[in-house]
């Protein structure tokens, strides 16, 4: 029923850090990223290229990338929300970029300062620019499963973005549960519709645990044929522009679940937990993840 191998993409150094009010020093970020790579994680999202006034934690994006350890077995990515962000990612030296737009009009206006319809054209512009620059292109759709501002999101909003992205030749598509409103039946329903619209696309899920259904939704994704999942060490994360947004599904907890299903990821859960304990000590608080502090 389940595949032998699964791909977990670590987003903690970007999605996890961006909401923290205490600025994490660049050297500590580098130490954490190196630790995650040493744990066997093959793709790490290290920064976002956004306004430092809006997201101060990402102000060191370029400096961080210049100091990243060279590792042929790891792909470093960054997040961009506009063409300028794509340019910054490429100029900083990244070979892969994730672009993202929202399926929610209200969230799009809060997060990107434009309507959902306007963001479709911006997404097209970002995709074309990234391809022109020869970058590996991941495309995200935020609030795909619902929005705290707009409520339920019509599947048509999501499929509009899917069609636009597929026209531009993206390398992978990610459906994001930005405000944590996904539930198993909704996950299966929307994944089915996206697969029917774009049967050849490599599809992943970016799940949050706001309402405690993160790992249940991961299971629903597995049962729907998803093989790529974004996770964050220690369960860090949340959107700075969404009230009450909670963290991503924890990398360690996800690994424990996958191991119980006899699925392989090539990732050492205990080494990931070391990174979580280190950042928890710096932040002086317990992280949302369950297993990192247990010693299991």
Quick check: 112 and 143 in contact, CB under 8 A? no
Quick check: 168 and 135 in contact, CB under 8 A? no
Round to whole Å and give the CA distance between 253 and 231. 9
What pairs with residue 289 in β-bridges?
Answer: none
The burial class, CB within 10 Å (0-12 / 13-18 / 19+), for 157 is: buried
Is residue 238's pLDDT more than 90?
Answer: no
- Looking at 143, 147, 228, 239, which residue is catalytic? 239
Percent of the chain whose predicted confidence (pLDDT) is above 90: 90
166 is annotated as an active-site residue: no
| Interval 68-108: pLDDT, tens | 988 999 999 999 999 999 999 999 999 999 999 999 999 99
Percent of the chain whose predicted confidence (pLDDT) is above 70: 96
What's the pLDDT at 245? 60
DSSP sequence for 133-189: TT-EEEEEEETTT-BTTTBS--HHHHHHHHHHHHHTT-SEEEEE-TTS---HHHHHH
Is residue 295's pLDDT more than 80?
Answer: no
Tell me the average pLDDT of the chain: 95
In the chain, what are the domain boundaries? 7-283
Long-range CB pairs of 197-201, under 8 A, 24+ apart, other chains included:
197/159, 197/162, 197/163, 197/166, 198/162, 198/163, 198/166, 198/173, 201/162, 201/166, 201/170, 201/172, 201/173
Round to whole Å and give the CA distance between 209 and 245. 9
Tokens 């935020």 -> residue: 142
Superfamily for the 7-283 domain:
Aldolase class I (3.20.20.70)
């Amino acid at each position: 029923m389940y595949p032998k191998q699964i791909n977990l993409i670590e987003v903690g150094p970007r999605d996890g850090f961006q909401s923290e009010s205490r600025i994490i020093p660049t050297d500590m970020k580098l130490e954490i990223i190196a630790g995650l790579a040493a744990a066997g994680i093959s793709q790490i999202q290290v920064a976002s290229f956004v306004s430092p006034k809006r997201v101060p934690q990402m102000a060191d994006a370029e400096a961080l990338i210049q100091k990243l350890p060279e590792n042929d077995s790891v792909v470093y990515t960054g997040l961009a929300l506009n063409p300028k962000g794509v340019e910054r990612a490429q100029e900083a030296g990244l070979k892969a970029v994730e672009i993202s737009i929202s399926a929610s009009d209200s969230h799009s206006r809060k997060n990107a300062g434009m309507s959902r319809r306007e963001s479709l054209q911006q997404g097209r512009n970002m995709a074309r620019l990234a391809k022109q620059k020869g970058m590996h292109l991941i495309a995200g759709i935020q609030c795909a499963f619902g929005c705290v501002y707009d409520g339920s999101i019509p599947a048509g909003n999501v499929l509009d973005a899917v069609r636009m992205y597929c026209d531009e030749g993206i390398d992978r598509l990610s459906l994001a549960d930005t405000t944590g409103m996904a539930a198993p039946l909704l996950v299966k329903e929307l994944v089915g519709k996206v697969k029917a619209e774009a049967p050849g696309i490599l599809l992943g899920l970016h799940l949050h645990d706001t309402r405690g259904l993160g790992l249940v939704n991961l299971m629903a994704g597995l049962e729907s044929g998803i093989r790529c999942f974004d996770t964050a060490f220690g369960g860090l994360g949340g959107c700075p522009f969404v009230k009450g947004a909670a963290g991503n599904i924890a990398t360690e907890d996800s690994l424990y679940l996958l191991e119980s299903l006899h699925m392989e990821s090539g990732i050492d859960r205990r080494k990931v937990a070391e990174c979580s304990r280190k950042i928890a000590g710096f932040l002086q608080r317990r992280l949302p993840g369950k297993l990192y502090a247990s010693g299991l």
